[in-house]
């Protein structure tokens, strides 16, 4: 039986009644198969699963889609029930921010100003602030985050380590649709033509992976990804396409790496990333 709670008091009571380990999955709702994968991973590894559903106003810029972001609580609850979640915490904004915007925010450091942070100033300040608040309120043993939002995952891991938060952060691989597009709540904004254009994003990343598998060096891997993106259908505008190390530091010469991309399809902004293994230098 999944218990829906809306307030801190209700959450504390529900959390206090859980025995065994607790895993938390933080979402903004509009749940899809990617979220279900997170929920299943949490259910497999923890005795109890707590889901948070909260469209966080702190991480939306003035020109972004906060007001039109989909809110589908009834459908989300059904997904949580099917996945065996014990508690769903769905607060209103005043419940988390009773004084309005907080006076103290979590500073994500230099990495928070790069990639997504450069395109969306202040975004990770808002993300890390709400994540820390929700970790404090839910008190989990583990927290599960998707690798699709790889920069977010990396920053949450850094925050937990640097601030001594007693929780294990578990990354869950990206879930893709049959055509290769990474699952996202924003995919529902795409027109049929926009969806076809959006495939330039995973196409570019897979071109980079293929180049690496063929022995290409870092520069050639990135060039192959850019070439594949440029050869894709019209209607998509690249924001960034970069190759870094697994911690999002400057790109490695050999070994594990991460290829990350973001692009606009009309008014919809999509992100994606893949792991890349660079061949040793000869």
pLDDT beyond 70 at 67: yes
What is the set of active-site residues?
35
Name the DSSP letter for residue 8: H
If you write DSSP's letter for every residue of 35-49 in order, what string do you get? HHHHHHHHHHH-SEE
pLDDT, position 282: 61
Question: What is the Cα–Cα distance from 148 to 92, expressed in whole angstroms?
Answer: 26
Give yes or no for residue 63 having a pLDDT over 80. no
From 18-32, 62-76, 163-177, the region with the lowest mean pLDDT: 62-76
How many CB atoms are closer than 10 A to CB 25? 32
Element holding 241 (H helix, E strand): strand 237-244
Looking at the predicted structure, is the pLDDT value of residue 29 above 80? Answer: yes
The pLDDT of residue 70 is 86
Average pLDDT over residues 58-67: 85
For residues 179-192, give the mean pLDDT.
Answer: 92
Counting residues of the chain whose pLDDT is more than 70, the rounded percentage is: 99
Which pLDDT value is given to residue 252?
82
Report the chain's mean pLDDT, rounded to a whole number.
95
Beta-strand ranges (E) seen in 106-217 are 142-146, 168-172
Taking the model in full, what pTM does it have? 0.95
**Which residues, 6 or more positions from 269, have their beta carbon under 8 angstroms from its beta carbon?**
119, 186, 239, 262, 263
The packing angle between helices 73-82 and 33-45, to 10°, is: 40
Lookup: tokens for 224: 């192959």
Mean pLDDT of 7-36: 97
Quick: pLDDT tens for 132-148.
999 999 999 999 999 99
The average pLDDT across 211-227 equals 97
**What mean pLDDT comes out for the span 117-122?**
94
Q: What is the DSSP letter of 80?
A: H
* Residue with the larger pLDDT of the pair 252 and 151: 151
């Amino acid at each position: 039986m999944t218990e829906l709670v809306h307030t801190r008091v209700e959450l504390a009571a529900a959390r206090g009644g859980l025995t065994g380990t607790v895993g938390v999955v933080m979402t903004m709702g509009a749940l899809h198969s990617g979220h279900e994968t997170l929920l299943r991973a949490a259910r497999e590894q923890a005795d109890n699963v707590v889901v948070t559903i909260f469209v966080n106003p702190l991480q939306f810029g003035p020109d972004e889609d906060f007001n039109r972001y989909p809110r589908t609580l009834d459908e989300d609850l059904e997904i949580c029930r099917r996945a065996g979640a014990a508690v769903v915490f769905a607060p209103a904004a005043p419940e988390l921010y009773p004084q309005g915007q907080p006076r103290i925010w979590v500073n994500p450091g230099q990495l928070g100003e790069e990639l997504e942070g450069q395109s969306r100033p202040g975004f990770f300040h808002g993300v890390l602030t709400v994540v820390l608040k929700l970790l404090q309120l839910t008190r989990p043993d583990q927290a599960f985050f998707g690798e699709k939002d790889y920069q977010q995952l990396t920053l949450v891991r850094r925050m937990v380590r640097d601030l001594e938060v007693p929780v294990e952060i578990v990354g869950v691989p990206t879930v893709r649709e049959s055509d290769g597009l990474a699952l996202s709540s924003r995919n529902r904004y795409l027109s049929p033509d926009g969806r076809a254009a959006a495939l330039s994003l995973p196409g570019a990343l897979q071109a980079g992976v293929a180049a690496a598998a063929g022995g290409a060096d870092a520069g050639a891997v990135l060039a192959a990804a850019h070439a594949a993106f440029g050869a894709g259908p019209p209607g998509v505008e690249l924001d960034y396409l970069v190759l870094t190390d697994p911690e999002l530091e400057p790109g490695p010469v050999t070994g594990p790496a991460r290829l990350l991309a973001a692009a606009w399809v009309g008014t919809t902004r999509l992100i994606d990333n893949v792991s890349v293994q660079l061949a040793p230098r000869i």
